[in-house]
Structure 1
């Protein structure tokens, strides 16, 4: 009988990690002399780095490998497994995390990891481990738990914690991310906590690189400030960083330098990244969430938690009684992609053209290639938005006719209709509109103008769908007070060759909306929305993204 194998006929999973086009932004492509450390020499990439990608992965029925930390096959992957994760993948990620991603964590013994079914699953288990459920009318208010979040945040976190009865405590943000000091900053919120809302929050949820949705990127100095405040008020930091590898040096301020790492990762690319909160976590109060969703495929539903061993053990117990290990199929595919066959008789095939795996240096090169690809997309979208954020109106003034021929003079008026900050990382651009400059501002409230604009974009010839800021407001006060001025755009959700044209459609839609002088047209747009009679989705560009 022919042995059963798992054949993965998808170019994505077997793409050569250095297949990306060179990027004009510097520095983004890996230097030619960036080898792994001596300790990782055995994980080296295939010899011919320019070879074409393999056409498929093969996870064999039986690899013939006796060591469970190395055997990648269906015999082991499709059985009940340990809650830590599939042993060969767990071993790779643990080593990669401790030696390369976070080579310096300032507590004895370093961190532990546990595999998850993606970051959302990891966050849910973290909340389960670190908070009690609270019910109004049943539990006293002084026991009501709370969680600190950015003023605008990833709403899955809110939707996970709200049913548990947690108070959501927004913290003010700036272009960098969460503020440590000042009005509404972390210290201000904690020091002046209103006990009628419940206990002072003991959890902080944050996305520090390419913050979702505002794209802020937190510096090492700001992290150090925030960590010190968390020590003072005994707050656990839940660091969700799916975009950590997507840091864009082309947008870094002039003269900005990432501090030298205390201990090198062995790769110049990883050393160049702003380090995790783990790098300052001398008390073991950081829980970091990582995922393959943004580096392999969202449908993998595979990630991992990095944290201090005592907490990792508690998370392991929760996993044992809930999801258990992630999908064996997915874990085996990712393990085969990276590690490849483990002996000359192993019938598996990894991501390299010769059937070997990518290994550590191939995986790092893939991550750097992703960064370069998204940086190009970001630059194109930002350049297009930047070129169209003003309404330009030309006219003549009679007062000028006394000094020159009227045909020779014109008055140019420029009105800024929106603005944004070029992101230092992530997948998003946070665009803030100035509805006080709209011709109908005195007749139509800004929130209503914002809703009409959102609908206007979905009509021909613009056909773009963006994410309104109201989606990311963690409290009703923020939703009603300011969020309608903002929209989130996602350059990762659009094909690279379409970014310029779709971004232009977005900008032209905004420009044309500012030319509307009739209140009845605004009313008609909103009536169409209420009756669900907007145009079909054919040709509609999804600029909002799904993440």
Structure 2
């Protein structure tokens, strides 16, 4: 039995008939100022040491601790030690400390005094712009919590304290991980983070599990490390949990030439290339299989906030935009992180698809143990994302828009991508030959995955499916349209394409509406030519 009484600050949950405990509500956008005011003076000076617990709810004792993952860490990761010079930063927070110890150059010799950046106003729908002014000494002058004298100098492997505070709050607002000792650390984008994580968990010869079609760079990153991918059957909702279970239950290390795999790479929302999005029940089932086989899951989610309005057909208007932040957040499929009671999810977030790929800034969320290991790797490699990127993002997300303004921006993107998706769906319905082409309208992301009936090609049986795919690409190029062949995303590239695996991927994120429609018409012409169909 669960009895709940909620107000702005607490929830009352009955634990048994005679006892009750008061639990804090998940952090909300409105609760951030109150949280910060109660936290005391913010310390984010030069190369300031910080960690996620500084910015989370102070009492999470009602949540369990994560599992330990010593048995999953690679020998390389276990061998990493704290960087001694970075460790000294913890003493800089002591009042009155004068430092002659670090290797930091003086900001007085940085030839950057001020950066002005124009951005959309909080009300993104009115297309007005405001200018963010970022100065060298804004902290000293009481104008900001972050300035160029800090951002342009060396920092910690976790990223700046200012951005760590923001991403921790954002993660708590959106996902509220259900275990106690989670944390965040910044990354120079998810591709770099993926390479770090492979090295944290994998030994040479290991397999990584993914969908049978997956992000090509994730596969290519593993090769030089001596690792391989193995694909799991998928459907319109992505990886099929029963197929994953069968793969692992029947795994034979001798015939496979490798130990049973435990690392899964997946893009649950708007999967690249298929556009598939796992529903809530699929995610729950997937997580149970992960528990059964003690898996670590890399939840790569660059498209999470590009979940669109439901597709209701090209002749009907899409449902109206969410009216409140809560309505928007409630409309999102809950993340795997939000149901992770064990700390087995490593979530990769990125600003690349919602703000700017060139910012090269993202973050991971994982158990404190894994965050510590990841940070040790950062310290002796990338160190942290660009300071210029960090301070521009902080000034925008924290001091200009705030958490609420960022959610407003994401709602704006949701509706914009919905319109783009709908334009492409209409073009496909009008121009593609349905006797050989089929698709499921994507619910998230940037990609449209079009299945082609290989058996209906005039050369089927005489040519391989890969040769048919090559011929389709060549015909499309001759007609002046470029789409990506599905085989480019096959997780096990050495395996021959099967008849059921003939696909092309189209991107609806960047082309003008008229260009999308014309490109789809040209694709239709190319497909008819290739398959010998009449106009």
In structure 2, relative to structure 1, the CA distance for the partners of 1:358 and 1:466 (3 Å cut) is: same
**Is the 2:190–2:350 Cα contact (8 Å) retained in structure 1?**
yes
Query: Are 2:145 and 1:71 equivalent residues in the alignment?
Result: yes
Residue by residue over 1:187-214, the C-alpha shift from the partner in whole angstroms, topping out at 9 and shown as x without a partner, is 0000001212210001011000011111
Residue correspondences, number = 414
Match of 2:507 in 1: 490
Q: What secondary structure sits across from 1:230 in the alignment?
A: helix
**Is the 1:209–1:216 Cα contact (8 Å) retained in structure 2?**
yes
Tell me how far 1:319 sits from its aligned partner: 0.8
Tell me how far 1:492 sits from its aligned partner: 0.8
Query: Are 2:261 and 1:201 equivalent residues in the alignment?
Result: yes
Match of 2:180 in 1: 108
Tell me how far 1:218 sits from its aligned partner: 0.5
In structure 2, relative to structure 1, the CA distance for the partners of 1:252 and 1:217 (3 Å cut) is: farther
Moved more, 232-241 or 86-95: 86-95
Instruction: Give me the whole-angstrom Cα distance separating, in 2, the residues matched to 1:360 and 1:503.
Output: 38
Tell me how far 1:80 sits from its aligned partner: 0.4
Residue by residue over 1:273-329, the C-alpha shift from the partner in whole angstroms, topping out at 9 and shown as x without a partner, is 001111221111000000010011111111000111111111111111111111011
Residue by residue over 1:409-464, the C-alpha shift from the partner in whole angstroms, topping out at 9 and shown as x without a partner, is xxxxxx712111111111111111123323454655543232122122222xx321
Match of 1:425 in 2: 444
Counting only pairs closer than 5 Å after superposition, residues 273-352 of structure 1 correspond to structure 2 as 273-340=332-399
Structure 1 segments (4+ residues) deviating >6 Å: none
Query: Are 2:305 and 1:245 equivalent residues in the alignment?
Result: yes
Root mean square deviation, CA, Å: 2.6
Q: What secondary structure sits across from 1:200 in the alignment?
A: coil
Match of 2:4 in 1: none
Higher relative contact order (CA 8 A, sep 6+): 1
Match of 2:192 in 1: 121
Q: What secondary structure sits across from 1:218 in the alignment?
A: coil
Tell me how far 1:3 sits from its aligned partner: 9.5
Tell me how far 1:65 sits from its aligned partner: 4.3
Moved more, 88-97 or 160-169: 160-169
Is there any run of 5+ residues in structure 1 with no aligned partner, and where? Answer: 21-49, 135-143, 254-264, 341-356, 391-414, 518-547
Counterpart pick for 2:248 among 190, 212, 232: 190
Query: Are 2:128 and 1:15 equivalent residues in the alignment?
Result: no
Q: What secondary structure sits across from 1:513 in the alignment?
A: helix
Counterpart pick for 1:457 among 462, 473, 476: 476
**Is the 1:339–1:359 Cα contact (8 Å) retained in structure 2?**
yes
Instruction: Give me the whole-angstrom Cα distance separating, in 2, the residues matched to 1:372 and 1:241.
Output: 19
In structure 2, relative to structure 1, the CA distance for the partners of 1:82 and 1:359 (3 Å cut) is: same
Instruction: Give me the whole-angstrom Cα distance separating, in 2, the residues matched to 1:97 and 1:67.
Output: 28
**Is the 2:160–2:390 Cα contact (8 Å) retained in structure 1?**
yes
Q: What secondary structure sits across from 1:371 in the alignment?
A: helix
Match of 1:410 in 2: none
Match of 1:504 in 2: 521
Match of 1:211 in 2: 271
Moved more, 481-490 or 206-215: 481-490
Query: Are 2:281 and 1:221 equivalent residues in the alignment?
Result: yes
Counting only pairs closer than 5 Å after superposition, residues 397-476 of structure 1 correspond to structure 2 as 416-441=435-460, 444-459=463-478, 462-476=479-493
Counting only pairs closer than 5 Å after superposition, residues 49-68 of structure 1 correspond to structure 2 as 50=126, 52-54=128-130, 56-65=131-140
Instruction: Give me the whole-angstrom Cα distance separating, in 2, the residues matched to 1:81 and 1:130.
Output: 26
